[in-house]
Structure formats: C-alpha cells, structure tokens
Copies of this chain bind each other. A is one copy, B any other.
Amino acid sequence: MEVRMSIERYGMAVRLKEEKRDFYLENHQKVWPEVLTELKKIKVKNYSIFLKDDFMFGYLEYEGNNFDQDMEAMQKISIVNEWTVLMIDCFNPFPNHEKNNSWVMMDQIFFME
C-alpha cells in the first residue's frame, strides 16, 4: 500500500472583468457548499484567492495523487460545472494567454517551509 503524504502547491493567475467584479467577490463570500465539498473530497486544502486591480492569483494545496485527473473529474459534476461556467464568465484572459479563458497555471520557483 502506497502512503502519499506530500503536498503539491499550485499557483494560478487570471484577470477579472470590471463589470463582473462585484458578482465574483460576493459569490466568493458564499461559495456554493457543494463546490467546497467536492474540492475537499479531492483533497484541495488551504485555498486562497487574491486580487489586485483586475489581476487575480489563486493558491491552493493538493494532497491527492493526480491533480489534473481529479480536477477534470470534478468538473463533470453538474453543479460544479454550473459554478465554473458562471465564474469563467467573470474572467478576462491573463496577458499573452488569450486562448485560455480561465486560470493560467504558474510555475513554483521558490518554497520555504
């Protein structure tokens, strides 16, 4: 039996549409409980989103075994997908990533425990 205790840290970036700012902020004060439950199920933890002007930065920790696979499976759950569609509609692409209408994954270049 494999015991996996490591934590992966993910950073991601996107921009927020000015006209959707209030909607996005309000919804992130009361994220649908079903969405939070699914995130916890796949072992996403310590998830923060930060905003400056129209730039957003997300940070999360993942303690599962296959992040991409878990995220993909989670998006197939209809209420999660419904939430995601609403949120993606709030986004402007990150500079130079116009083909990606959602979060752009970043590279972790430093870590201090």
Instruction: List A residues at the B interface (Cβ < 8 Å).
Output: 9, 11, 13, 25, 28, 31, 36, 39-40, 44-53, 55-57, 59, 94-96, 104-113
Beyond A36-B112, A112-B39, whether A107 also contacts B45 by CB under 8 A is: no
* Residue contacts A-B, CB under 8 angstroms, 10 given: A13-B55, A28-B110, A31-B112, A36-B112, A45-B113, A46-B112, A46-B113, A48-B111, A49-B111, A51-B107
- Residue from A36, A59, A94, A107 whose CB has the most chain B CB atoms within 10 Å: A59
Copies of this polypeptide in the complex: 2
Residues of B within 8 A of A105 (CB): 52
In terms of DSSP, what is the predominant structure of the interface of chain A?
strand
Which of B25, B52, B96, B110 touches A13 (beta carbons < 8 Å)?
Answer: B52
